[in-house]
Every structure is written in C-alpha cells, then in structure tokens.
Structure 1
Amino acid sequence: MRVTRDRAWATLTRYTTSESLLRHALAVEASTRSYARRFGEDEELWGCTALLHDFDYEIHPTLDRHPQDGAPILREEGYPEELIEAVLSHAEHVGIPRDTPLKKTLFACDELSGFVHACGLVRPTGLEGLEPKSVRKKLKQPSFAAGVHRDEVYAGAELLGLELDEHIANVVAALRPVAAELGLAAA
C-alpha cells in the first residue's frame, strides 16, 4: 500500500479529535518533512510517519499502551513496517533502537516541535522573529510547557549531529509556513 498524506490524515482524524493533538501532529509533520528534504529522503513517508506518531494517544493515553497498542491498528490498515517501527521508536519507554535517519529525526522533532509551538503561542508575533536564544531561555524554565521532556529535546539534536541552536532554527523555519494551521500569528 502506498503511503499518502490524505490516507495518513484520514487515519489520524479517525482516532484523534483533540485540536491540540492535531496541531502537534501538524507541527511534527512540518519539521520532519523539512528534514526529509534536507537529507534527500522520502518526504511523503517521513511526513506521514510524523502525522501518525501520536494517532492513538486519545484512545491509549498511558505509557503501558501508547504507542505500542496503536501499532496493530496501523498494521491492519496496511501501513509499512518502516513507518510503524519509527512510530514505536519515538517513545523512550518502548526501547526500540533509533537506528535509521527516519527514527532519529522523528524523535528529534517530536518534543522540540511541541516546545517551539508553545513558544509561538505566548508571543504576539507567533514564530516571527523567534530566535534559538529565546527558545533556549524558555527551555530553562521548568514551568513553561512543563509536559515537554527537555532531556529529549537535547538528545534529539545530538542524535541528528546538530548543535541545539541549529536544530531549533530548523524547526522554527519548518513551522513558519504552517503557523496559521497551528493557531499561531502568521509569519
């Protein structure tokens, strides 16, 4: 079965109704697609994987079920194992090695995309003018976007072999074109 964005979006919205989860999926998709272009990889596969990485979170909101209980659903729907393995690998507790560029990138983009989105929400200009320095400053405030695992943000940049500032700048740039879809002031 061919993986297409329309099909992935249909799967995502069949299981996810939360506006915040849908926006998170869009943010992770945008940043992951951006890296796929940068690395010369399959942008459609990478983007669809990112869209689907938390597709089951509403029905399986606990670590003992998400994302591992979502994998059989993706298999039943005919998604390729490469996509499913990457979805499984984004969760630390599952313990699947991040041994492909897709797995590394999905992990690196997940928490940081959410954090950058949160930064944009508290700025009157959204993502416009958002600099890595400002994001790093917010990362040091544990009460800001408290659900974001800071250690995973740092580990993600390292996994990609990038300095944190470069990774932040890449994610901010990737999210700007979808700012309106993310509920942010247009850049």
Structure 2
Amino acid sequence: MNSKKTLVIAIAAVSGGGKTTITTQLNKKLYNSKALFFDDYEFEGPDDICDWLKRGADYNEWKLTPLINDLCSLLSNPVLSLDCILLDYPFAYKHNKMREYIDFTIFIDTPLDIAMARRILRDFKGVSSDNILKDLDIYLSCGRLAYLEALNSIKANSDFIIDGSLSVDVIVNQIYERINGISKEIH
C-alpha cells in the first residue's frame, strides 16, 4: 500500500457478528495499519436503547469524541504515516461527525442465530442459566430491534457486504483483497 493517504475502513456487524475478530485478524494481515475498537471506549449516549430505537435511532445522539480524537491523532501523526486505520465501529456512515473520516465501510452480514449464539458463548461463560434466560427475554422484548436496525440501516449504508457465516480466514482474505483494490484506486 502507498502511504500518500491513510485509508480509514469501518467494519460493522450486529453484536456477535464478528467485528472484533475480523478487525483484529485483518490488522495482523495488513502492513502498516492500526485498529481502534468501539468497545474500548465509554461513550455518552442514549440511556435506554429500546427508547432510542423507537424514537428513530438517531446515531448522532452518541457522543463519539474519544474515538474521534484517537482517530484524528493517528491520522495526523506524520511519524506513523499509516496506510490503513481499521475501525471496529458499528455505525457505518450513520454518525455525522464520524462520516467525514471514513473512506469505506464493510458490513459483516452474520445470520442472527449465529450472532446470538456467539454472543451467549462470549458474554455468559460461567454465569447461571437464569442470567442467560433474562438476556434472551430482553432480546425478544427489545434487543432484536437493535439487530434489525443494524440490518436495515447499517447494512444499507455500507459499501461492501460480506457473508458473516463464512470462515474468519475467508472473510479476512476477501476484505484484504478489497482494501488493496481501494488503495490502488485512491493512490
């Protein structure tokens, strides 16, 4: 990759869809890249996700200043001169302040049953089945709306959609090839 312009790639998916795994593996494969992970930050945002969804899911209600500051710091660092910054970031182009920094968005289209199974395996190790049942009840009453919002809004606002049921290696290789193609186009 040529270092004339740092390419900012946002990788989105539903919770349990593979954002973090794919971003981590892709960052290892790319030369001269850095990754920022949405879950590493504490953001001010809607207190009640269900209410936020019912009100129309305005992504600009999320105050993403810490992530934006870190992204700007990486972009403006002449010593790093990165080829690519990967964002494990669930909003694609939907947040007005982040949109101006993102060059390309990828949506990992993971079937909801697979995403839910991954999330339960990831988040509920060593907890009682009552906790799992409570979470599933929340999913059915409201959480599923968030998943559907991602499918209806974020997927529709992404530049590249990849099948999330493919193996991690296949997904990473396909995205890697796409990034190399984009890099050649802009340089």
Q: TM-score normalised by the shorter chain: which range applies?
A: 0.3 to 0.5
Give the alignment's TM-score, normalised by structure 1: 0.38
Give the alignment's TM-score, normalised by structure 2: 0.38
Q: Which has the higher helix share?
A: 1
Bigger RCO (CA 8 Å, 6+ sep): 2
Instruction: Look at both structures and tell me which one has the larger radius of gyration over its CA atoms.
Output: 2
